[in-house]
Copies of this chain bind each other. A is one copy, B any other.
Amino acid sequence: MKLGEFSLIEILTKKLKTLKKEVVLSVGDDTAVIKKNSTFLLLTVDALVENSHFRREWKKKIRELYYLLGRKLLSISLSDIAAMGGEAKYALVTLGVSESSKLEDLEALYKGLSDASVEYNVDVVGGDTVRSKGEFFDLFLLGESRKFMRRSEAKPGELVAVTGTFGDSKAGLELIEKGKEIKRNFLINRFLNPTPRLKEGKEAVRMGVKCGTDVSDGLIFNLYTIAESSKVSIFIDSGKIPMSKELLSFCKERKRNPLEYALFGGEDYELIITFPNDIEKEITALGFKVIGEAGKGSGVFLDGKLIPKKGFDHFRRE
């Protein structure tokens, strides 16, 4: 299938009707949300697939590749839970293993998954291995929350803020793809070992923040997901977008524009939230940085100029 058809399948997915009244959110936010007595169950699934999210050959350059993939497999789902402001609880994992897969790699993956699950207090309660043409690792995560953020709750006049820095992950991916010999550094770690912003998400919800998402497809792309589902416009200031010194020097050496990386890079796994300006002080105290604000109308604007919706597509091929 071509990419265009691929998004048709996404549309099909979104068409699935839900029947039960306790289903608060299904496809279309960072997690599904189910009302359960006085609390909400948060359900999400994410996969790492060979040649879409990683290449086996990278192991020649990064010896601990599979360990890091095991960690990342959990972290990307944790980021979904963080985007809702929830707490992660239980995971189940499916490993698709090919005839040429190496046992040591799968052991390393399990070690990474297991270490990360202890670190984030998640129980891996189920697992299955299946034979497959290429390798794939699929993880389901169940979380919980008493309150949660949605993508559709941004209001005109609210401030827009983010955690962390943007564009590092894309630069890290390029270092791995193009490098011959590689030393693990900040940028590569940002791509292979992202930090889910669970604490920040939870605290934001506690402060009363109602709108949030995480950045997996690129800052602009995920600002669009908020703008579109909330029916608002979003205005951001290029000078306020957080970028790491490592990204700046990576781009300087290569004569690239770091803003391109930060706006469209993807796989940052940082949070975007919107909130009323009377709690700005409390929110920035949590480590969030204000990058703009929401307005009436539609579209995402950088320094006043409309920016097209464009996302990160892993190993893009058109």
Q: How far is the CA of A160 from the CA of B18 in the complex (A)?
A: 38
Known contacts A9-B106, A103-B1: does B43 contact A90 (CB below 8 Å)? yes
- Check B26 against A126 for contact (C-beta < 8 Å): yes
Tell whether, in the assembled complex, residue B26 and residue A138 are in contact, meaning their CB atoms are under 8 Å apart. no
In the complex, A110 Cα to B16 Cα: how many Å? Answer: 9
Q: Are A47 and B128 in contact (CB under 8 A)?
A: yes
The docked-state distance in angstroms from the alpha carbon of A98 to that of B314 is 15
The yes or no answer to A260 lying at the interface (CB within 8 A) is no
Q: Which residues of B contact A100 (CB under 8 A)?
A: 1
Using Cβ atoms and an 8 Å threshold, which residues of chain B touch A106? 1, 9, 12
Which B-chain residue is minimally distant from A32 (CB atoms)?
B125
Q: Is A285 an interface residue (CB 8 A)?
A: no
Measured in the bound complex, the distance between the Cα atoms of B19 and A118 in whole Å is 8
Task: State the copy count for this chain.
Answer: 2
Give A44 Cβ to nearest chain B Cβ, in Å: 7
User: Hey, what's the 0/1 contact readout for A176-206 against B, CB within 8 Å counting as 1?
Assistant: 0000000000000000000000000000000
A50 surroundings in chain B (CB, below 8 A): 132-133
- A10-B126 contact given A97-B1, A99-B1, A102-B1, CB 8 Å threshold: no
Q: A127 is contacted by which of B16, B98, B138 (Cβ under 8 Å)?
A: B16
Cβ–Cβ < 8 Å partners of A8 in chain B: 103
- Contact (Cβ within 8 A) B6 A131: yes
Chain B's nearest CB lies how many Å from the CB of A18?
4
**A107 in the interface (beta carbon within 8 A):** yes
Q: Which of B36, B46, B117, B133 contacts A128 (CB 8 A)?
A: B46
Cβ of A13 < 8 Å from any Cβ of B?
yes
Chain A positions 236-259 with a Cβ under 8 Å from a chain B Cβ: none
Whether A92 sits at the interface, judged by CB under 8 Å, is yes
Q: Which residues of chain B have C-beta atoms less than 8 A from A138's C-beta?
A: 45, 47, 94, 138
What are 26 residue pairs bridging A and B, where the CB atoms are less than 8 Å apart in the complex?
A1-B98, A1-B101, A1-B102, A6-B97, A6-B131, A9-B97, A9-B106, A12-B106, A16-B114, A16-B117, A18-B124, A18-B125, A26-B125, A27-B125, A27-B126, A34-B90, A36-B36, A45-B138, A45-B140, A46-B128, A47-B96, A49-B96, A49-B131, A50-B133, A132-B136, A133-B133
Q: Enumerate the 6 nearest inter-chain pairs by beta-carbon distance, A residue then B residue, closest first.
A: A133-B134, A13-B127, A32-B125, A140-B140, A26-B125, A18-B123
